[in-house]
Amino acid sequence: MAQTKVTDAMRNVTTVDGTKISGAVPSGALTNVDLSKLEYNQAILAFKVASANQLAKFSMVDQVIDEYQDATGIDAGNSTNERAGGATTAKYYDGATTVTPTVSGNYDSTATDGDYTYYKWTTVRSDGTYTTNTAQDYEYLVIGGGGGGGKGVSSAGRPGGGGGAGAFRHATGFAVAATTISGITVGAGGIGGTGSWGSSDTASQGGDGADSVFSTITADGGGAGAAGHQTGTPNGRDGGSGGGGDSDGPVGEATLSGAYGNDGGLGGGTNGGGGGGMGSAGGSANGGAGVTNSITGASVSYAGGGAGNVGSGNGTASHGGGAAAVGTANTGGGGGGMLGSVSNGFAGGSGIVIIRRLTSIESSGGNLTLQSVATTAESAPTTADLVVLIEDSGGTPATINVDIKAKVSRDGSAFSGYVTFVDEGDWGSSKRILVARNIDISGIASGVAMKYKIETFNQSAGSKETRIHATSLAWA
């Protein structure tokens, strides 16, 4: 067969006279060309570009892409239960509903603070209860009862030590199931040390504070202050914070030093050692500092150590972090030590339990309506293509065209009937590509305001949860 030589002139042909072309394209020559595949592959590439660059909703020629990097492309007023989630390149929308938990219990008081509700147990008890029907994360503050101050005897020149503060336990993010919590305990403050005066004078340590408990959280009671007498017990006792020693010691140590309290202090001369506090260890006469906390919305000082007695006086607030003589109730403050012929050591303050939660929370598993804002077409289109990336994030996978459906509008308000999605494969684990091609929109109200509306159905937390990661709407 003769071959035609290709000349330079032939190579430089830029136009062809249509009258010189004859014949027909052979049957089947274009059977492998699938423009619809090109369309949704283009959408997938656009998704990747938008995600990688964390772009907001953006338009292409006769097409709009949204990877939900922000809410720019969503009409919040016409969407329902839409919740933005995820981070960086893995953002999405899913359905969520607002739930207000039902709670009960024998707490002593409750109040709201902004978006939060808190509950307080202040009466000394061990039978506290709390019931909720909704699993939720809580903030808690649990403080043990403060230790009692020791009694000193002036004839012996031995001062009484201040009581240690109750342990200070505080944290956020504490998971509480939908259940009843029993055995909530508010620890009592320890009693003050006692003694007698006369030919055979005596003196005793104070009493340890009692533990406070909420669920798995225990705040140890504070250690008692030392007795100031040669026949008594001169050491402070260990506890949430340690009790103060007399002028010889030793001091009481914190159960977990520095974590929930501090050690007591050593006295000197006629000064008793101060009880430890959450903020610092006790010193000579001075009780350790307390700390402030605003779990109720107001700043309150808790867990200050009781002061050791000073000279011939008693341990008071002016001598350290402890409350004035008797530890303040519901703060876990240590009681002050005493040196005198009649007065005893002072009792520690009782503990407290406070929990706090969001008053209302968003719960997964709500049915979602996600409607886009309008994108302007150059002219009124008659067909549309929709590509949606979804994730089956929990429970059974969504059944397409049953549990997830969509509509399209060209005037921004009148929508088509539900489109027919086809599953075109996966884009990751439990992640699918849904495509609806050649959607006929010629029969709905004409216009150039292009919108989509995606809806999910039969959603339930842990049973069926569908996430929408990206959407492409194209038109012609």
Domain residue extents for the chain:
35-97+364-475, 101-359
pLDDT surpasses 70 at 55: no
pLDDT of residue 319: 37
Confidence of residue 108 (pLDDT cuts 50, 70, 90): very high
For position 46, what pLDDT does the model report? 63
Predicted confidence at residue 247, as pLDDT, reads 73
Residue 140 token pair: 């808690």
Strand partners, 85: 92
pLDDT of residue 342: 58
- Round to whole Å and give the CA distance between 408 and 454: 9
**Alpha-carbon Rg for the chain in angstroms:** 37
Report yes or no: 64 and 72 within 8 Å, Cβ to Cβ.
Answer: no
* Widest distance between CA atoms in the chain: 140
Quick one: average pLDDT of 157-185? 94
pTM for the whole structure: 0.73
Q: How far apart are CA 347 and CA 153, in angstroms?
A: 17
Cβ atoms 453, 375 nearer than 8 A: no
Between 58-62, 77-81, 171-175, 367-371, the lowest mean confidence (pLDDT) is in 58-62
Structure tokens belonging to residue 239:
């506890």
Q: How many CA atoms lie within 13 A of 80 on its CB side?
A: 7
Q: What average pLDDT score do residues 420-424 get?
A: 96
The per-residue pLDDT for 232 is 55
Considering only 40-44, 248-252, 346-350, 448-452, which range has the smallest mean pLDDT? 40-44
Mean pLDDT of 401-428: 97
> Residue 7: pLDDT above 70?
no
Q: How far apart are CA 351 and CA 208, in angstroms?
A: 12
pLDDT over 60 at 111, yes or no: yes
pLDDT at position 30 is 47
Q: E strands, 177-306, where?
A: 180-186, 195-196, 202-203, 212-214, 217-219, 291-293, 300-302
Share of the chain above pLDDT 90, in %: 67
**Contact between residue 228 and residue 160 where contact means Cβ atoms under 8 Å apart:** yes
pLDDT at 140 over 60: yes
d(CA 361, CA 137): 10
CATH topology assigned to domain 35-97+364-475: Jelly Rolls (2.60.120)
pLDDT per residue as tens digits for the range 178-223: 999 999 999 999 999 887 655 556 778 899 999 999 999 999 999 9
Q: For position 152, what pLDDT does the model report?
A: 78
**Cα distance between residue 112 and residue 134, in whole Å:** 18
Name the residue with tokens 């990688």.
52
Residue 41 has pLDDT above 70, yes or no: no
**Residue 121, CA distances (Å) to 8, 112, 335 in order:** 97, 15, 21
Q: Is the pLDDT of residue 143 over 90?
A: yes
| pLDDT at residue number 434 | 97
Q: What is the signed CA dihedral for 52, 58, 63, 67, rounded to 10 degrees?
A: 40
* Residue range 114-125: mean pLDDT, rounded: 98
Q: Which amino acid is at 260?
A: Y
Nearest to 191 by CA among 205, 181, 172: 205
Residue 137 has pLDDT above 50, yes or no: yes
Q: Tell which wins on pLDDT, 347 or 231.
A: 347
User: What's the pLDDT tens digit per position in 299-358?
Assistant: 999 999 999 877 654 544 333 344 447 899 999 999 998 866 557 889 999 999 999 999
